Chain A
Amino acid sequence: MNLVENKMEKIITDEHWDEIIEPRSKLFDLRLKEVWRYRDLLILFVKRDFAAQYKQTILGPLWHLIQPVFTTIVFLFVFKSIAGIQTDGINATLFFMSGITIWNYFSACLTGTSNTFVANAGIFGKVYFPRLVIPLSTVLSNIIKFVIQFFVLFLVMVWIGFKEQYFYFGATWLLIPLLVVMMAGMGLGLGIIISSLTTKYRDFTVLIGFAVQLLMYLTPIAYPLSILKGKSYAWLLQYNPLTPIVEAFRYALLGKGSFEPLHLLYSAIFILTTLFFGAVIFNKVERSFMDTV
């Protein structure tokens, strides 16, 4: 009798459950496999973002062309004509425009992912899917925007190349995809950390708006890093992990300027750390954010 009971108990405890919902999950259980299972959803979100953004606009994706062109014109006026900044021997138009293009991608990723929870509270509250799909889709749909802007940059390069009889195209171009991925990682990592914090305290939403703007001036977008040589505050830019990426992007694209592989490694380590901690915090918040959002 006792034996039978024991056996029964064993069967019950051995029972296989597909899923166990509990108050707390393991801190480092990031469920990335699940994200992969939802890859179709990821692609559909990207399509949705892109399609929905231009419904009922006349210019559609052309808006992506207008923004960097006008920003470049303003930068040329303010930083070149008024402030007289030297651009490392690079054509000023290309210098500004390349900086703006890569910066736009970062800032779009960061601001886009940073309101993941607040903007999607409605859908998150009703159905479960790995929440990480949303920030990932933001990063991916911004790539489309980046490619369009990069194409404009390329056209401007060709045009200026004809004018100046100088056109650079080399193996360093192969570095560009890596740099874009790094920017995506940086935007995503910081974005998901901020999005996790905003669920309870909205203060961060206000912060992110101008922090991105200020951060741009701490990154060599409107001026080259070289003009700070010997200045006491140059460290501010040197420790900015975005600096090496922007500099390397210009170097890779235009073949001129400064570029230090070791600095890029520093950025890569910074990005990986941010991404890891971001994913851990995000994972912790996503499970119960509906109660506080």
Chain B
Amino acid sequence: MSDTVIKVENISKQYRLGDVGTGALAHDVNKWWHKVRGKENPYLKIGEINDRATKADSDYVWALKNINFEVKQGEVLGIIGRNGAGKSTLLKILSKTTTPTTGSIKLKGRIASLLEVGTGFHPELSGRENIFLNGAILGMTKQEIKSKFDEIVDFAGVERYIDTPVKRYSSGMYVRLAFGVAAHLEPEILIVDEVLAVGDAEFQKKALGKMKDVSEKGGRTVLFVSHNMGAISTLCDRGLLLINGNVNCNDNIESVVKQYLNTGLNSNADFKNTNNNLNESIYSIKISNESENSTFNFAKPIKIFFSIKHLSKIKGTTIGIAIKDRWQQKIFTDTFVIPEYNLNKLESKIEVIIPSKILLTGLYFVDAAIFLQNQQPFEYLTEVCSFEIEDLESELSTYSNSNIGSFYLKCDWNVK
């Protein structure tokens, strides 16, 4: 008897882009007409891979295409991918909130999902009432909830507020309570999607610990989706990397995380914007390096070039970059007000130099934005490109196997 609890076979999911209007009715009629004559759905043949950045040729897109994988009992599987890679779609199919277009999933045991906690919380009801309601929505019976009630309240740490309507709760308390209910659910398979974004550090630790408990002691299976590579690495045994709706990599977690981080690493770190609707837009970012790859020496400065298209020519237009470490935590940000005489040109070329001996060995991402101060940015690009720093000769290079952080600041040391 094998201990596989989830078996995903050839799962694909097609979505229709754009608006549902009279065109949709025409398609429905056409689909129905094909069905009546016993023919295949004509729209299943078309559809492209789901790359959100490129313009679509047809109205149909495959959010997932031929996904196959298995999960064994007690395993914690991390599902990784960029925005729009199909992670949420996969979880939605697993949690039965939508159906696949083709393929099948076989499951053993009860499955419960935490696709955003607090589902079904009613703001007017008290914490106590919401625990029961939320528990029941997640599939518990009244008896089960009753027996766990004290534990949940204790876990969430909201005893004082338990008879207050949850609309008076702080957002952190709200999440604590919601996660508390879900964590005490005891399904055989638990799906967790980005629940740890809110909540303070103490609670995040508690939540991660609870998840680890659930899988190790409870022998239960957890599917975990997050962009937080730190949490993924510590929690999961195995990883599944999705790129544009396809499984790119399905291996132990270290190699999958590495693969994921590397997919962001464009060798020449070049980005081309195709969106022409913006007033001001960055249409190219290039990180330059003599050796034409994106690995920089610790002792050398990093040059990043921006090409910016000016259309609105508003005085005070500012460009900014943020450097993030491999866990996608921002390390620092800097901005630059584009000079007025440059705004009159159609295009500006701007160079930013990150001084040498600042960023330590590791992988870095670049966020870029073009904006007016205190206003919605014209454009904000998240992790558009990335680069790697290596250190072979400095005095710090001997520490490269231990965690010495990512930011280097030379301090003064005096013997007194």
Interface residues of A (CB under 8 A from B): 11-12, 15-24, 38, 40-41, 44-45, 47-48, 51-52, 55-56, 123-129, 200-201, 287-288, 290-292
Contacts and interface: CB of A to CB of B under 8 A. Distances in A.
Interface of B: 1-2, 7, 15-16, 20, 24-25, 28, 92-113, 115-116, 119-120, 122, 124-125, 129, 132-133, 136-142, 165
A129 B138 CA distance: 7
Nearest to A202: B20
B286 to A, nearest CB: 39
Contact of A41 (B96, B113, B129, B136): B136
B24 A200 contact: yes
Contacts of B96: 21, 128, 287
Contact of B165 (A40, A55, A123, A292): A55
Nearest to B101: A23
Report which residue of A22, A38, A126, A290 has the largest number of chain B beta carbons within 10 angstroms of its beta carbon.
A126
A18 B105 CA distance: 11
B323 to A, nearest CB: 35
26 contacts: A17-B106, A17-B107, A18-B110, A19-B107, A19-B111, A21-B94, A22-B99, A22-B100, A22-B105, A23-B100, A40-B136, A40-B140, A40-B141, A44-B136, A47-B129, A48-B129, A51-B129, A52-B124, A56-B124, A123-B120, A127-B97, A128-B95, A128-B97, A200-B28, A287-B98, A290-B92
A200 B133 CA distance: 29
Given A38-B136, A44-B136, A123 B119 contact: yes
Contacts of A23: 99-104
Classify the interface of chain A: helix, strand, loop or mixed: loop
Nearest to A24: B99
Given A22-B100, A127-B113, A290-B97, 12 more contacts: A15-B2, A18-B109, A20-B106, A21-B100, A22-B99, A23-B101, A41-B133, A123-B137, A126-B119, A201-B20, A287-B99, A291-B16
Contacts of B101: 23
Nearest first, the 10 closest Cβ-Cβ pairs linking A and B are A128-B96, A41-B136, A21-B105, A17-B106, A55-B124, A126-B119, A19-B107, A40-B142, A52-B124, A126-B115
Contacts of A127: 95, 97, 112-113, 115, 119-120, 137-138
A241 to B, nearest CB: 29
A52 B2 contact: no
Contacts of B141: 40
Nearest to A17: B106
B331 to A, nearest CB: 34
Nearest to B63: A291
A52 B125 contact: yes
A291 B125 contact: no
A51 B125 contact: yes
Contacts of B102: 23
